[in-house]
Chain A
Amino acid sequence: MRVLGIETSCDETGIAIFDTEKGLMSHIVYSQIPIHADYGGVVPELASRDHIRKTLPLVKQALAEAGCGASSIDGVAYTAGPGLAGALLVGAAIGRSLAFAWGKPALAVHHMEGHLLAPMLEANAPQFPFLALLVSGGHTQLVRVDGIGRYQLLGESIDDAAGEAFDKTAKLMGLDYPGGPLLAKLATLGDAKKYPFPRPMTDRPGLDFSFSGLKTAAANVIAAEGKTPQVQADIAASFQQAVVDTLVLKCRRALKETGLKRLVVAGGVSANQSLRLQLADLMQSMKGEVFYPGKEFCTDNGAMIAYAGWQRLRAGQAQDLSIGVTPRWPMQQLPPV
């Protein structure tokens, strides 16, 4: 079975083709970052306007790069949520209509299930069951995963997501949008012990997170110490350490409580090097194994959508002719495969 995947939930247009025998045949990500940079964040209407220009040309390009004709596609998967309603509707309208014209089934994919399953595109894919840490621009969740569509939410952020905290703090420091990766780079030059940022909600039981206080703490330091390059680097390092410590502590707790030995980390923040180093230590001490998506599949991409869609389409699931999108969509509502 060969599936075309379309991702337009936010500020990336991602298109990919995944095949049962051949694996990932092509994948293209077009980023809108330059469009939104002047605004310091994603402008939803501008995102939608760009998706409608880019999606179909990229579909054609992905087919050409895969060297396969449109008639060899057996199904179309598109992100239907969570995300920006207008942006989602572009990919959903094009994807659903393409499938209709081809006479092939379509599948509305959950974006976070895409992130969650992205490590399965790697050679060393995790087996079920596992614990998943989803850390992205919009989500910070710990999920027990017993199979596709068998998800139990163990904890999540009660305010800002980890990636959002990176981006907001970076913005305060005057870094360009999206500041998360830039802040992480700056952190390599700083002293992570310089400023004692809070580790929110680590001193009490439970698996929820809270990151909104961190940007306030960072703002206070900037107000007190100014914005010299060294202060910037030290804030970045100390901030990053606080986030990573918190994530690692909750992972340890969740692994202990569930008895699981495999940890899957996905979403944009899973690209963070400091997080990866400390989770490696954790898993070594717990005699477990940690799995990541390939670097290019940490942030939004079409490959993870094609793959998640392929998993469900080959199990016979499909979407009717309505082009529904679900901007807010708890992952636990997905049907099992």
Chain B
Amino acid sequence: MKLLALDTSTEACSVALQYDGQKLTLDEVCPQQHSKRILPMVQQLLAESGLGLNQLDGIVFGRGPGSFTGVRIGVGVTQGLAFGADLPVFGVSTLQAMAQAAVRLHQAKQVIAAIDARMAEVYLALYQQSADGLMQPVCEELARKPAELPPLTLAGEICAVGTGLVTYRDVFLQWASDTQLKISDQVLLPSAQDMLTLAVPAWQQQLFVAAELAEPVYVRDEVTWQKLPGR
């Protein structure tokens, strides 16, 4: 099975390619430059593998949460590539991808993943490793002020990942003071290679869908725009 993964949801711009037991990854941190970098990065990995886009089996994309525009760049690129090469797609959570990175780098069993969501909020979710080695969510993804987080439902050792943990380090340490919280200094942003890890079982379960069904998950969906009086 040959899969391409890409993510532009956060400050990171990440592309990974899996084929014949090999995995190639390109991770860059390039705020505001994703739209310029993403296709050259895809082209570079394809060239290294010697594969053409239409020799792949599917495309995996970071579906958010993250910057609204960043998430849409990734989804738009995915839609264009996948429709153009007639490939199915599968969306992976950026938070879950970071949790999976904590397995890869820290052998974590439990994870708090949080992305700085601006406007004094974080995107946050909790994960536990299941028998197959994959991180599974134990709560819904939230957008919250760090001071207003719901009570923590995990105990024991928890690995904490993502930019949210950097920005709000002390708040999180306080929140998780009944646990052994270990803040990762390696997993700050999602990487497409971990999206591949999470997408493989989805491929086997035939969960990939048509290109036009690639959709962003914003998490922050409540409408905060001012309507006209009486509407």
Binding site for B on A (CB under 8 A): 38-40, 43, 45-46, 48-49, 52-53, 55-57, 59-60, 70, 85-86, 89-90, 92-102, 321-325
Contact = CB atoms under 8 A, between A and B. Distances in A.
Q: Give the most central of A56, A99, A322: most B CB within 10 Å.
A: A56
Contact of A101 (B69, B73, B76, B85): B85
Contact of A94 (B53, B79, B227): B79
Contact of B228 (A40, A56, A101): A40
A321 B227 contact: no
Nearest to B36: A322
A93 B228 contact: no
A324 B84 CA distance: 20
Given A48-B68, A93-B35, A38 B80 contact: no
A323 to B, nearest CB: 4
A98 B212 CA distance: 12
B43 interface: yes
A48 B72 CA distance: 8
A65 B85 CA distance: 21
B76 A60 contact: no
Interface in B27-80: 35-40, 42-43, 53-54, 68-69, 72-73, 75-80
A102 to B, nearest CB: 5
Contacts of A55: 76, 79
Q: Give the most central of B81, B215, B231: most A CB within 10 Å.
A: B81
Contact of A38 (B36, B43, B228): B228
A89 B81 contact: no
Contacts of B54: 101
B162 interface: no
Given A39-B228, A43-B225, A52 B72 contact: yes
B84 A86 contact: no
Given A40-B228, A321-B40, A322-B36, A93 B68 contact: no
A98 B226 contact: no
Task: Report the 6 A-B pairs with minimum CB-CB distance, sorted nearest first.
Answer: A101-B84, A97-B80, A93-B76, A322-B36, A323-B35, A38-B231
B160 interface: no
A93 B36 contact: no
A92 B40 CA distance: 15
Contacts of B40: 321-322
Q: Give the most central of B80, B83, B215, B228: most A CB within 10 Å.
A: B80
Nearest to B75: A52
A321 B225 CA distance: 35
Nearest to B74: A93
Contact of B39 (A52, A60, A97): A97
Contact of B68 (A45, A59, A70, A95): A45
Nearest to B68: A45
A99 B80 CA distance: 8
Given A39-B225, A56-B79, A98 B84 contact: yes
B191 to A, nearest CB: 20
Given A48-B69, A94-B76, A323-B38, A100 B81 contact: yes
Given A89-B35, A324-B35, A100 B80 contact: yes
Contacts of B75: 52, 93
B39 A321 contact: yes
A325 B69 CA distance: 13
A60 B42 CA distance: 24
Nearest to A97: B80
A137 to B, nearest CB: 19
A59 B216 CA distance: 19
18 contacts: A39-B225, A43-B225, A49-B68, A55-B79, A56-B80, A60-B83, A70-B83, A93-B35, A93-B75, A95-B80, A96-B77, A98-B81, A100-B39, A100-B53, A101-B53, A101-B81, A101-B82, A325-B35
Interface string B198-222: 0000000000000110011010000
